[in-house]
Structure 1
């Protein structure tokens, strides 16, 4: 079983913002897997599905980005999922818009959602699908950038990265990290 966690913030004011790239990617996966029933459990919205015989639980923590670790830890315990079967999808400032990167382990690079998960799990060793959002232009504060919706060309790049992120998750389950990195990085 895989726990596939999309990071984001709950609430209409955050829908489709750059910081909610994880939520949007999990929603794309839900569409692909035919997951239509979401329930609240362990501080998150969850939907169960299957991908080529592998059980998956799609997760959107509802505790806000900075405290995502609590729901993730609870659901890993509930479903008996080890960190090597955890896939976390999140926005990434240091990757160009429209592109993604997949990796296993690493630091949090200032991302509070990743920091929270690492702190709660006591490890940083899990899969990450990083959705590129790029750095803000000029002197625009990072917080304003990540909490805004992409416009025009940025919106197309964002939607492309979300679709690529969803494809990378299923490819990773089927083919492992090395082949996924060769194809998507």
Structure 2
């Protein structure tokens, strides 16, 4: 089993916010592969399917962002997976331009509370992740207000492209092509003239 977890906050009030891009990518993958993500397991909404010839579990933790590690620990323990090679975490990143991706095999939380929780509960920072850029917080904004805010119309269009790229990157990671995915998707998007 390969677990693809997208981070976010449950309930309608958080739908479409910057902090929920992990959920949005999971929804894109679920739509593409016709996977229903409605089964409650390990404090998450989950669904199973096949991607790149491997059985996968899509997961949207329902613990709220800051406790994401509780859910992923329950799932990784239940399925007895190797988190270094069979777990992929997808989440928002304010240090990347809107819709830009950054793929890493390991790393610190970088101030992201969901990742902080996962590292704490799993006892390691070595697990693949796809960061999806939501743009830098404007000067004077409160960080929580910014990440819990919604995208502008222009940014929503860029994010849709970002979600599709994140889905394709996830497919490559599931197939074991981590280096290739990093080479392909870690480039800064070209600015339009």
Unaligned segments of structure 1, at least 5 residues: none
* Equivalent residues in 2 for 1:27-46, closer than 5 Å: 27-36=27-36, 38-46=38-46
Tell me how many residue pairs correspond in the alignment.
185
Counterpart of 1:94 in structure 2 is 95
Q: Secondary structure at the match of 2:35?
A: coil
* Structure 2 counterpart of 1:63: 63
- Please state whether the residue corresponding to 1:150 is helix, strand or coil: coil
Contact 2:90 2:131 in 1 (8 A): yes
**Structure 2 residue aligned with 1:128:** 129
Deviations 1:61-84 (A, max 9, x none): 000000000110000111111112
Distance of aligned partners of 1:138 and 1:175 in 2 relative to their CA distance in 1, 3 Å threshold: same
Q: Is the 8 A contact 1:38 1:47 kept in 2?
A: yes
1:37-91 Cα offsets, whole Å, 9 max, x none, are 5211111100001013200000000000000001100001111111121100000
**Which runs of 5 or more residues in structure 2 are unaligned?**
187-193
Matched, 1:78 2:90: no
- Kindly report which structure 2 residues correspond to 1:1-185, keeping only aligned pairs within 5 A, or say none: 1-36=1-36, 38-84=38-84, 85-185=86-186
Shift of 1:175: 4.6
RMSD of equivalent CA atoms: 1.0
Q: How far apart are the structure 2 equivalents of 1:165 and 1:182?
A: 14
CA contact (8 A) 1:45 1:62 kept: yes
How big is each residue's C-alpha offset from its partner over 1:1-39, in whole Å with a ceiling of 9 and x where there is no partner? 211000000000000111000000011111111102521
